[in-house]
Amino acid sequence: MSDKEEIKYNLFVIKTKEDEIKKLLERNKEITKSMIDKCKHELVLESEAHIIPYKEDEFPACTLSPIRVCVECGLAEEGWGCGYYDLDDDRKIIKCSDREDCKSIIILFRSQMELDKIRQNTPTA
């Protein structure tokens, strides 16, 4: 096999593997969505807000809102008080002081922007 033919073959193999990976990622997304949709989110961890200082001994540059993570399915949402959607106060919530511990079990994260979009597309009773 010439160098040119080998390159063509390798490119074909790469393309085939990329297509397989794409299909597997789509399937993973479907399974994750199904798992999260079926979950009742009965046990939730909630981190504290996290302050990111600009410089030591000065005012903070920003504060990251707390996150809540379902222990069973890994759904995570960020928010303040009533800002949560699926992980609201109608469940057992365990306070977790270490944000990284909460983040370690996240499978799907919903930011405040994503939650706002969900709220806008949800009909009210």
pLDDT tens digits along 23-68:
999 999 899 889 988 999 999 998 888 777 776 666 657 778 888 8
Domain locations along the chain: 1-38, 41-125
pTM above 0.75, yes or no: no
99 pLDDT above the threshold of 60: yes
* 82 band by pLDDT with thresholds 50, 70 and 90: low
125 pLDDT above the threshold of 60: no
DSSP 42: -
Distance separating alpha carbons of residues 122 and 87, to the nearest angstrom? 16
Distance separating alpha carbons of residues 29 and 22, to the nearest angstrom? 11
pLDDT value of residue 12 = 92
* 78 band by pLDDT with thresholds 50, 70 and 90: confident
Distance separating alpha carbons of residues 13 and 10, to the nearest angstrom? 5
